[in-house]
């Protein structure tokens, strides 16, 4: 059994490679579907995994057709950004500003 194809691996493929691989996966899926219907194929989980791989490939293919992505951009997407620690408020910011409302004196 092959491991599932990750989106990162798919994005590293060129457009013609991706189209060819997608076509092959769809052909394999059709054979598996027939095997499951005739009950000669027992592993329905593998069928589901192939369907998901095809969905991933189709998604990336649409993205690539819309806007070409370079390999450098893919590698950049893999980097996990460091979590920023929240800023601590300084003493002057902590002090609440008291609003000074002017009170009108009643004149009699």
User: What structural domains and CATH numbers belong to the chain?
Assistant: 7-66 (1.10.287)
Share of the chain above pLDDT 70, in %: 59
Helix locations, the chain, DSSP H? 7-12, 15-37, 44-66, 71-78, 91-94
Confidence of residue 29 (pLDDT cuts 50, 70, 90): very high
Q: Convert the pLDDT of each residue in 46-79 to its tens digit.
A: 899 999 999 999 999 998 888 755 665 666 666 6
pLDDT for residue 57 = 92
Residues 6 or more apart whose Cβ sits within 8 Å of residue 61: 15, 18, 19, 22
Q: Can you give the pTM of this predicted structure?
A: 0.56
- What's the chain's Rg over C-alpha atoms? 29
pLDDT for residue 64 = 87
């Amino acid at each position: 059994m092959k491991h599932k194809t990750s989106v990162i691996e798919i994005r590293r493929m060129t457009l013609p490679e991706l189209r060819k691989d997608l076509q092959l996966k769809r052909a394999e899926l059709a054979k598996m579907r027939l095997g499951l219907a005739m009950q000669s194929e027992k592993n329905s989980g593998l069928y589901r995994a192939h369907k998901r791989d095809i969905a991933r490939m189709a998604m990336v293919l649409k993205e690539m057709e819309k806007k070409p992505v370079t390999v450098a951009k893919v590698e950049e997407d893999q980097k996990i950004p460091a979590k920023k620690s929240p800023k601590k408020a300084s003493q002057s910011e902590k002090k609440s500003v008291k609003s000074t409302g002017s009170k009108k004196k009643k004149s009699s």
